[in-house]
Amino acid sequence: MKLKLVPARTGASWVKLGIRTFFKQPLALAGLFFIFMAVMSLATMLPIVGLPLAMTLLPAATLGLMAATREAEQGKFPMPLILFTTLRAGPAKLRAMLTLGALYAGGFMLAMGASYLVDGGGFARLYLGGSAPTAELLQAPDFQNAMWVFMGLHLPLSLMFWHAPALVFWQDLPPLKSMFFSIVACFRNFWAFTVFGLAWMATIVVAVLVIGVLGNVMGNPGLSSVLLFPALMLLASMFFTSLYFTYRDSFELEAAAETIDPAAS
CA distances from 114 to 38, 121, 128, 149, 258 (A): 28, 9, 15, 7, 40
CB-based contact 82:72 (threshold 8 Å):
no
Contact 58, 101 (CB under 8 A): yes
pLDDT of residue 174: 96
Q: What is the DSSP letter of 132?
A: -
What pLDDT is attached to residue 258? 47
pTM value? 0.89
Q: Give, as one character, the DSSP assignment of residue 253.
A: -
pLDDT at 69: 97
- Residue 260: strand, helix, or coil: coil
Residues of the chain below pLDDT 70: 254-265
At 55, the amino acid letter reads M
According to the model, what pLDDT value does residue 105 have? 97
Cβ contacts of 176 within 8 Å, gap of 6 or more: 103
